[in-house]
Structure formats: structure tokens, C-alpha cells
Chain A
């Protein structure tokens, strides 16, 4: 701070409190809604203070079988698996391809780099039908493979590892070679341990990415057994117009968004690192 201006400090706090209120408001409303019984929400004015029905609503979400949706625990399980497979898969294939691109000189290396780069320019949203057709032809609809493998290629993760490998001193690898380490041993005993923080930061970002997927599961699953939470809560909310059970729907929404939100709050440093580094 350059100079002390009390009114400006007051304004700063005022602005920030307003900002936090705006940011927290929708989730606060959802939390409040999830603590009330079904009648409190359908009688005109929504209550603004928590009620006592949270536990009942949670139990109802977890046990009740709704039409057209899989049981909540199964969707949560699917989301969890999808997020984990995507995270591990992306990191695994990106780190080895970055390793090949940085530590080897082979014909086709530049081509490989550009092919990976191109994936940045082709988000799922612009190739919905043909990608769906490929997955259908491979018989991967309604399977974990179909949910995850097409999303596993990652230019950003590859670039992140490439960037990081370029900062590792050349002497490290020369010394390892002098000591007789082959490429696989060097990768396992030196590069992997050095990449630990980068891997951890990527894990945080990619887990959130995997958990948030919506369009892709919507395309490739028709069997409720493979529905993910994001699809599930959307379907539950869509029927709410006819049969408003906002209290249980909001309880489900809050539970569905909780895991990634907790990750951001408790692993904030890794999260910030991951987000800033992958965008470089």
C-alpha cells in the first residue's frame, strides 16, 4: 500500500463484501432450499433462513428412485470414475508424449507435436455428430470407455509437461546417461519425481474438468446405468416444473457440486498453480 486512505480501504472492503455476496448468493439460496420441507418452497416467498429438513432431504435424495434417472449413488459413482479415469489417463499419456517430444529426436516429431496441438482447435462442441458416430461404430456407447477415452487426449497437459521438461537442466540427463541409465530408468527415477508438483496441480484441474463434463456424457449414454451426476441433476431439475420438489433437487445439486468445490477450497494453492500453468 502506497498511502493510507481510510475511505478507500473502507470502499475496498465494501466492494469485496458485495462481490462475495454476489458470488455466494445462488449457492446460499440452494443450500437454504435444501434445508426446507416441500411446502415451504411452494408458498410464494422463499424463506431466507435455514430450516430443519436437510437430513431428510439428503436421505430422500440418496434412497429415492426417480423416474428416468439412475439412483443418486450410482450417478455419483459414475461421475467419480469418469473424473478419475480422465485425470489419470490425461496425465499418463501427456507426460509420456511430452517426454518423447523433448528427449528424443525422431522423424515425425514435429508432425506429432502439431497433431497434438490441433486438438486445442477442435472442442467436442464443434464435432458433435461425427465424434458420436465414431464412438457408436466402435461400440463404445454406454460404457466407461466411451465416456472417458475420447476426452483423454490433452494438448494443454502435454504442453505443460513439455514446458517443464525444458526447464530441467540438460546436465541431469547427461549425468544419468553417464551413469548408465536408459531412457525408461531416467524417466522413472528422475523425471517422474521431479514432476510431482506439476502432476498434483494437474490432478486438481483435471478432476474438476472430468467431474464437470456434461455434453459428452449426454451424447454417449442412453442407459441410465451410465448417467453421471451432471446429467442426473439436470434431468431432476427439468421435471421440477411439473412437480416441484425443489427442496430435494437443491439437496442433490448441492451434493453434486460439493466434491470439486471442496477440492478448490482445500487445495487452493495447487488449484491456482494448475490453472495458471496450463494456460501458459
Chain B
């Protein structure tokens, strides 16, 4: 790892400088993570008096539990849907803004601010819109003969959280797609236009391939977002219901552990999620090294 050509002579000072960060990291990140790993291999008796080592029991149980497997599938569906919808819309909007010269910034401002809306608030907003007694969308859906009820219908509940989570993420994706589009050399576009390629052909054969680093980066970030940052969206709208239909993996860790106090199983679930984030982070960072290629 690089450092400066010349450095200050070090005695105690550098240790003092990194100490606050490291102390917090060890106490609040590494130690609890270690505890999660440890208690995922242990069983505690109901009174918390003694613990015994049970090996992989919690993990084996998890993978036989239909609830957990259903939650894995549900989380995958949720993550894919949110990633595709929010990235798709964001890309279309970014391409449109990138075509404009003057009006672009005004549109950008209008599209960027939802980033500052927190997941909980996004959940509440969409919950209000989809609310079966006063909401505006169920009222409109009735004309199509659809009886909207996310409190009873699991599919409706899933659509609700997908819409709310995607809505909140559009701004973020838009910003990065726009930055990516602006770094595509204009000369390539012009050369293709002279050769007779129309705007759509230029987009698919030149711009979109050149955007692939941004697209890949955003895919990783969005998966991370839907897996972990959507806790607020779910808690404010469906709270995992109805009948587990929106109980994603992260929400399940919370309900099983913090509310249900099933420590062993919750820890095993935490560890599985941890492995997942580690994989995502490694992919992201290996790739970021090579990101600056254009």
C-alpha cells in the first residue's frame, strides 16, 4: 500500500491518530461480528445461564426451514425487481437529460432530491398512496376492477415495497448514469452519426457498452441497497407481512433476533448475510481498481 515519498518520523503520534477510529471499529464492528459468528455455533438455554456448542446445527436447520428458504427467494425477487426498475428508469432519464443542453440542470435538480428522502419516509409516502381507505391509487385501480389490498394480499404487499424502494433509488442511479454518460467521448458519437447511425443505434452500439463499468458498479450498489438499506421501507409499510410475504432476509434477522429473541438462528442468518456483503464488497473493490479505463 502506497504512502508518501517522505514521511514524518513516527513515535506515538500515528497511533494516537488512528486510535479513535480503530477503537470504535473494534468495539462496535469487529467484536459484535465475532460474537454473531460465535453464537451461531452455540445454543443458549432459555434462562441464558449456560451455552453449549452445537456446531452447524443452526445453519442446517435454517436450510431445512421452508420459511427461511422462501425468504431467500423473496429477497432475490425483491432485489432483482428494485435493481432493474430503478436502474432502467434512471438510465432512460439520464440519457434524456444528457441530450439537453440548457434545460438539463433544471431537470436534474428535480430528479435528484428524493435521495434525501429516508427509506422510512419513502415507505410512509407510498403506504399513504396505496392505503386502501383513503389512498389515491387503489381508488384508480378500482376502475380497472382491481381490488387493491396490501394488508391481505401478499403480491400487492410485495409490489408496494418494490415501488417504494425503487422510487427512492432512482435519484442515486440517475446521478451515476449521468456522470457516466458525460464521460463518453462526444467524438465517437459524431463519427457514428457521420457513418449514418441513428440515435438509437448509436446508443446501443456505442454509449451503452461504454457505460458498462457504471452499470456494473450500480448493480452491486443496488443489490447492497435492496438487501440492507430497505429495512425502513419494509418496517414502515408491511412489517414483513401479510403472512411473511415481504419478510426479507434482513427483516427476518431483526424479527427473529430482536423481537423473537431466537439468538442462535438469528446469528446464523447474520453470518450468512455477512458472507454475502463480503462477497459484494470484494467484487466492488476488485472492480473499482479497473474502473478508470475510459
Q: Within 8 Å of chain A (Cβ to Cβ): is B288?
A: yes
Q: Within 8 Å of chain A (Cβ to Cβ): is B52?
A: no
Interface size class of chain A, counting residues whose CB lies under 8 Å from the partner chain: 35 or more
Number of A-B contacts (CB under 8 A): 308
- The 0/1 profile, CB within 8 Å of B marked 1, for residues 170-190 of chain A is 100110010000111010000
Q: How far is the CB of B247 from chain A (nearest CB, A)?
A: 14
Q: Are B270 and A9 in contact (CB under 8 A)?
A: no
B10, B29, B277, B281 interface centre (most CB from chain A within 10 Å): B29
A22 to B85, CA, bound (A): 13
Contacts of A132 in B (CB 8 A): 258
Contacts of B25 in A (CB 8 A): 115-116, 118-119, 153
User: Which A residue sits closest to B26, measured CB to CB?
Assistant: A115
With contacts A19-B96, A174-B6 known, is A212 near B288, CB below 8 A?
no
With contacts A16-B93, A29-B128 known, is A104 near B257, CB below 8 A?
no
Chain A contact residues: helix, strand, loop or mixed: helix
Q: Within 8 Å of chain A (Cβ to Cβ): is B22?
A: yes
Interface residue count on the B side (C-beta < 8 Å) = 101
Contacts of B39 in A (CB 8 A): 130
A280 to B257, CA, bound (A): 34
Q: Are A45 and B139 in contact (CB under 8 A)?
A: yes
Q: Within 8 Å of chain B (Cβ to Cβ): is A64?
A: no
Contacts of B116 in A (CB 8 A): 208, 212, 257, 260-261, 263-264
Contacts of A200 in B (CB 8 A): none
User: Which B residue sits closest to A219, measured CB to CB?
Assistant: B258
A residues bordering B, Cβ < 8 Å? 1-3, 5, 8-9, 12-13, 15-16, 19-20, 22-27, 29-30, 33, 41-42, 44-46, 48, 92-94, 96-97, 99-106, 108-110, 112-113, 115-116, 118-123, 125-135, 149-150, 152-154, 158, 166, 170, 173-174, 177, 182-184, 186, 208, 211-212, 214-215, 218-219, 230, 233-234, 237, 244, 246, 249-250, 253, 256-257, 260-261, 263-265, 268, 271-272, 275-276, 279-280
